[in-house]
Amino acid sequence: MPEVMSISTVWLNRAREAENAARELERLVSSAGTVLSQNRFGVDCVEGRALFVNLNHAVELWRSSISAIAEDLATTALHCRTAAAHYELVDSLSASEIGD
């Protein structure tokens, strides 16, 4: 039989997962910043320079996109924590009403 969990616990678990995912994505973005630190496609080669510039642009767009997702996950975590607190409050108020 499954374990009974309070709704606030579920929301706190979701918050933790969102925070973990945001941290992982931030690490990934940071690591990707060094992928193309130097032009190894040919400094004296027109095609090599163009390839380097275009790849750098693509990586920066990708990093920006992943950073935005990490920010969204951090916001999601905050909303999950807010939901957990709300459920705790409502649960507490309901419990006090039952006790009256």
CA distance 36 to 49: 12
Mean pLDDT for 5-26 is 94
Distance (Å, whole) CA 72 – CA 50: 33
CATH number for the domain harbouring residue 47: 1.10.287
Please give the pLDDT value at position 84. Answer: 94
- How far apart, in whole angstroms, are the C-alpha atoms of residue 4 and residue 80? 19
Which residue, 24, 10, 3, is CA-closest to 80?
A: 10
Taking 60 as the threshold, does the pLDDT of residue 1 lie above it? no
Is residue 1 in a domain?
Answer: no
pLDDT top residue among 100 and 48:
48
Over residues 37-56, the mean pLDDT reads 89
Specify if 2 maps to a domain.
Answer: no
Domain count, the chain: 1
Say what the pTM is.
Answer: 0.79
